């Protein structure tokens, strides 16, 4: 039986002919939280989009498996059905599509017919209470006129409703106030403990350790120049908060 996990081995990828990822090795286990940190332009979002199947991001080498299944051999929608979730830095607004209808369609797409409308509504209410969201939210159009914090809360609601096996949160803490950050943290903690029968594994991509004050990571990975150059525990994020990335760059240059 294949080992569980989102397993990335020597992954290489390019964008518009430019090599960005230069051999990424990383494993996210069920129920674990991994933080991927690094300065702008280091390749963090390229990793996220390459795993999700964005057509502009071309995988040129390596492998990625999800609980033993070849992730890279699947179309983007099949990757979602297999249990991969990606949150975006800048979620799109879709006027005319109500939040409740969108969430129901999304759940049906990945888990067809598993909940009756009444049970789905009960699930929505439960998850919205967890995120401290007003029920009137469901009647609004998707991200239309939403603040940054409201968009992120909605993404966390999507995450809770879909209950994926593995979730990649790309710059989820960008532009969030303290209350929204706390809500995101509570959602991640709840999902890592129980994702409808199994714990969800998380890869949290971030520049700054603010969100890690609310979700303690099991491991921290630092990416620079398309490579993971340093790994450690939660204390590594604290070191970065104190010293920035310059010290890590100096360490890389010293051994180059």
**pLDDT tens track, the chain, 256 positions:** 468 999 999 999 999 999 999 999 999 999 899 999 998 889 999 999 999 999 999 999 999 999 999 999 999 999 999 999 998 777 889 999 999 999 999 999 988 988 899 999 999 998 888 777 888 889 999 999 988 778 888 888 998 899 899 999 988 776 677 777 777 787 787 777 655 556 889 999 988 788 888 888 999 999 999 999 999 999 999 889 888 888 888 888 777 6
Q: Looking at domain 6-91+166-255, what is its CATH homologous superfamily?
A: P-loop containing nucleotide triphosphate hydrolases (3.40.50.300)
HSE, side-chain direction, 13 A CA sphere, residue 40:
0
pTM here? 0.90
Alpha-carbon distance of 31 to 194, in angstroms, equals: 8
Where do runs of H (alpha helix) occur along 10-133?
44-52, 76-82, 99-110, 117-130
Alpha-carbon distance of 84 to 166, in angstroms, equals: 5
CA proximity to 222, closest of 200, 237, 201: 237
202, 32 contact by CB (below 8 A): yes
């Amino acid at each position: 039986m294949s080992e569980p996990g989102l397993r990335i081995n020597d992954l290489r990828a390019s964008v518009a002919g430019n090599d960005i990822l230069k051999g990424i090795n990383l494993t996210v286990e069920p129920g674990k939280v991994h933080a991927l940190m690094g300065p702008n332009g280091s390749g963090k979002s390229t990793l996220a989009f390459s795993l999700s199947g964005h057509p502009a991001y071309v995988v040129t080498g390596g492998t990625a498996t999800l609980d033993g299944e070849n992730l890279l051999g699947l179309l983007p929608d099949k990757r979602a059905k297999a249990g991969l979730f990606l949150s975006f830095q800048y979620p799109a607004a879709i006027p005319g599509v109500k939040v409740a209808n969108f969430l129901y369609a999304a759940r049906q797409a990945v888990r067809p017919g598993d909940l009756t409308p009444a049970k789905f509504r009960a699930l929505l209410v439960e998850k919205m209470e967890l995120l401290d969201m007003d029920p009137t939210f469901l009647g609004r159009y998707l991200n239309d006129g939403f603040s940054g914090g409201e968009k992120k809360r909605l993404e966390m609601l999507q995450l809770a409703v879909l209950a994926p096996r593995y979730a990649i949160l790309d710059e989820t803490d960008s532009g969030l106030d303290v209350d929204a950050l706390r809500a995101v943290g509570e959602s991640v903690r709840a999902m890592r403990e129980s994702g409808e029968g199994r714990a969800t594994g998380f890869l949290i991509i971030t520049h700054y350790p603010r969100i890690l004050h609310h979700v303690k990571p099991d491991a921290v990975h630092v990416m620079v120049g398309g490579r993971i150059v340093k790994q450690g525990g939660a204390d590594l994020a604290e070191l970065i908060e104190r010293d920035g990335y310059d010290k890590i760059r100096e360490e890389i240059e010293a051994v180059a």
